[in-house]
Amino acid sequence: MTLRKALFEQLETLWPEMIKMRRHLHMYPELSFKEQFTPEYVRQHLESLDIEYQTGVGGNGVVGTLRGSRPGPTVALRADFDALPIHDEKDVPYKSTINGVSHACGHDIHTAALMAVETVLSGVRESLSGTVVFIHQFAEELPPGGAQLMIADGCLEGVDYIYGAHVWADDDFGTIGFRPGNTMAGGDNFEITVQGKGGHGALPHMTVDPLVIMSQLVVNLQQIVSRKTDPIGSNVLTIGKFHSGEAMNVIPDTATISGTTRTFEVTQKREMEKWVRQISGVTAAQSGATVEVEFTDSCDPLVNTKRETYELKALVEDYMADVVVLDKPAMMTSEDFAYYLQHVPGCFFFVGGRNPEIDAIYPHHHPKFDVDERSMVHIGKVFLLAVLHHIGMDE
């Protein structure tokens, strides 16, 4: 039996353990930058497998290092483990026990799958010609995110290749999607506050109405994508929050909006920020108000390196006959795995989790989000193929 077949079979036997780990994580989710239990859970797992580990990487991150018996490349596998401030509305035994917090994006799936891969690979370290680094990342959901902090703390030192996965609620279970090049958009989050002059609703001429000014600004900002960016590119500017005033007959002092930009070019991110600031300033000034604009860097575009993506896709087609391989379109959602790919080549792939038979039909960040747990086996197998391709394939 080949090493690949043996590892695949062992991974499949770990299916009950994967479910146990995933559901445990699902019941005890932790918000970004507040993870305490989850890193300890991962640490204990690595210690039980006699895998070298480092905790507190970049903050709450955990990094395991499995060294093969012979020298060779170093391959990193990454899974995120933070949850979202969303109340779990599913009617399942493993429902979140933390009020207002849930794994509504599948990070528990990613973590359990990687933990199973650690179990499998730890038993064959003597067959590996190289090193495997297991990156358990905190705070993917909340900018500035954990990836940059962990990279700054050295998690990629010596790494030659990196791979990451995301269970995908829009794709049916049994599918695995790949896209070389621009895969997920980068973007910024912003908040704009217009300072006017409040007063009585019956005396608007004695005020500088920030609500009206902000309403005009919302419209003006939409001209950035339609008139200031290249129509060949893909760009988005969305206002998701608008607040002003508390009473129906009072003109307030201030109005605030919050929004996000998305694009596939880092230079375009900076250009959109420039235009948001300029249009905000002009719109407020022409009505006698002042404005404050605050930008938060959300994420850079995620760009899969072509060689690693095509090679991994070919391996899946050759060795995972039970799945359908998809050519994924570029997506305007963001992922801070992008920062790892700015340092080393690799691939971020998507594993289908949708299954109407078990009511796994809701999108990411939905209160009833869930996926087919068998997707963990698919994630694990692709991870194993990536590792074996570089440091251990025997066929």
Q: Which of 82, 335, 372, 373 is catalytic?
A: 82
**Eight-state DSSP code of residue 127:** G
Identify the residue whose tokens are 């109340």.
87
For residue 93, is the peptide bond before it cis, meaning its omega torsion is within 30 degrees of 0? no
In the structure, how many helices (H) and strands (E) does the chain have? 11, 16
Q: Are 153 and 303 in contact (CB under 8 A)?
A: no
297 is annotated as an active-site residue? no
Report how far residue 96's alpha carbon sits from residue 187's, in angstroms, rounded to the nearest whole number: 30
Asked if 335 contacts 348 with a C-beta cutoff of 8 angstroms, the reply is yes
Question: In this structure, what token pair is assigned to residue 372?
Answer: 């087919």
Question: Rounded distance, CA 293 to CA 295, Å?
Answer: 7
Structure-token pair, residue 129: 């010609």
Instruction: Please say whether the beta carbons of 304 and 346 come within 8 A.
Output: yes
Residues 6+ apart with CB under 8 A from 50: 122
Q: Quick one: DSSP state of residue 369?
A: -
**φ, ψ for residue 104, nearest 5 deg:** -95, 20
**Contact residues for 73 (Cβ-Cβ < 8 A; gap 6+):** 130, 131, 160, 161, 390, 391
What is the rounded (10 degree) CA torsion for 244, 248, 250, 254? 0
Q: Is 89 a catalytic residue?
A: no
Distance CA 122, CA 102 (A): 30
- Catalytic residue selected from 108, 140, 265, 370: 140
DSSP 185-197: -EEEEEEEEEE-B
Contact 137, 146 (CB under 8 A): yes
**Which residues participate in catalysis according to the annotation?**
82, 140
